[in-house]
Amino acid sequence: MKGICFALLLFLSVFCYGQTKPSIIGFSANLVHFYTDVPKSSNVDPGFSIMYWKGITRKIDFSLRYNGLFSDFTKKENSNSNAYINEFEGSLHARPIDDDHLLSPFLSAGIGVGNYSGGWSAYAPLGGGLQLNMMGEGYIFLQANYRASFSTSKLDNNMFYSLGFTQTIGSPREKKAAIMPPPPPPIVEVRDRDKDGVVDSLDDCPDVAGLPQFKGCPDTDGDGIPDKDDKCPNVAGTAKYQGCPIPDTDGDGINDEEDKCPTVAGVAKYQGCPIPDRDGDGVNDELDKCPDLAGDPANNGCPIVKEEVKKRAEYAASHIYFATASYILLKKSNKGLDDVVGLLKADPNLRLSIDGYTDNTGRPEKNQLLSEHRAAAVKKYLVSKGVAENRIAAAGHGQSDPVGDNKTAKGRAANRRVELKLGY
Average pLDDT over residues 296-324: 93
Q: What is the pLDDT of residues 205-236, one digit of tens each?
A: 998 898 999 898 999 989 899 988 989 999 89
Q: 314 lies in a domain?
A: yes
| Angstrom distance (rounded) from CA 300 to CA 294 | 10
Assigned domain for 180 exists: no
Q: Work out the pLDDT band at 327, boundaries 50, 70, 90.
A: very high
Q: Collapse the DSSP code of 353 into the 3-class scheme (helix H, G, I; strand E, B; otherwise coil) and give the result.
A: strand
Residue 273 placed within a domain: no
Model confidence band, residue 316 (pLDDT cutoffs 50, 70, 90): very high
Element (H, E) at 49: strand 44-55
Q: Transcribe 121-137 into DSSP letters.
A: EEEEEEEEEEEEE-TTS
Structural domain ending residue among the three candidates 109, 133, 168: 168
> Can you spell out the DSSP letters for 181-228?
PPPPPPP-----TT-SSS-TTT-SSTTS--BGGGTTB--TT-SSS-GG
How far is the C-alpha of 154 from the C-alpha of 356, rounded, in Å? 143
Indicate whether 395 belongs to any domain: yes
> Which residues, listed in sequence order, are joined to residue 119 by a DSSP beta bridge?
116
Mean pLDDT of the chain: 87
The number of distinct structural domains making up the chain is 2
On whether the CB atoms of residues 275 and 284 are closer than 8 A, the answer is: yes
Reference 108, options 76, 144, 79, 140; nearest CA is 144
Does residue 107 fall inside a structural domain?
yes
- Where among 146, 168, 190 does a domain terminate? 168
CATH of the domain at 394: 3.30.1330.60
Helix (H, G, I), strand (E, B) or coil at 410: helix
Q: How far is CA 14 from CA 57, 134, 179, 275, 418, in A?
A: 19, 13, 18, 88, 120
pLDDT at 256: 87
| Stretch 149-177: mean pLDDT | 81
Residue at 28 is within a domain: yes
Domain's final residue, options 144, 168, 192: 168
Provide the pLDDT confidence category of residue 40 given band limits of 50, 70 and 90.
very low
Q: What is the band of 110 on the pLDDT scale with cuts at 50, 70, 90?
A: very high
Q: How far is CA 379 from its chain centroid?
A: 69
19 in any annotated domain:
yes
**421 band by pLDDT with thresholds 50, 70 and 90:** very high
- What is the structure's pLDDT at 37? 56
User: Which pLDDT score, from 0 to 100, does residue 81 have?
Assistant: 53
Is 205 contained in some domain? no
CATH number for position 127? 2.40.160.20
Residue 51 belongs to domain spanning: 12-168
Question: Which residues, in sequence order, are CB contacts of 292 under 8 Å at separation 6+?
Answer: 278, 279
Sign of the CA dihedral running 378, 382, 387, 388: positive
Provide the β-strand partners of residue 164.
28, 141
Instruction: For the full predicted model, state whether its pTM sits above 0.95.
Output: no
